[in-house]
Amino acid sequence: ALSYIVGALIFIITPAILFLLGSSWQPFENVTAFPVLSIVTLVALGGVGLFGGLTCVFVGTELRGVRERYFRNLN
């Protein structure tokens, strides 16, 4: 169940991070604003978030199957 939660969090957090990185914002008053990342970088980071979340979900599915097979053979 933990891997499903982590996968869902990655799916939720990734668009928020992409939104923040896709805009130019100034962290402090006397600091130069951060530059906007290129679309290629944003797409790559989005892909990493998407496939990272899917990896967590698929690992959780496989671990559930391993657990069920292991405990079924013990009885």
> Could you say which residues of the chain have pLDDT below 70?
75
Helices (H) and strands (E) in the chain, counts: 2, 0
- 3-state SS, 7-40, equals HHHHHHHHHHHHHHHCCCCCCCCCCCCCCCCCHH
Whole-model pTM: value is 0.71
Q: What is the pLDDT of residues 32-46, one digit of tens each?
A: 877 888 899 999 999
Closest among 70, 65, 66, 21 to 43, alpha carbons compared? 21
Q: Which of 65, 23, 19, 7 has its CA nearest to residue 46?
A: 19
Structure tokens at 71: 């405990």
Looking at residue 56, the DSSP 8-state letter turns out to be: H
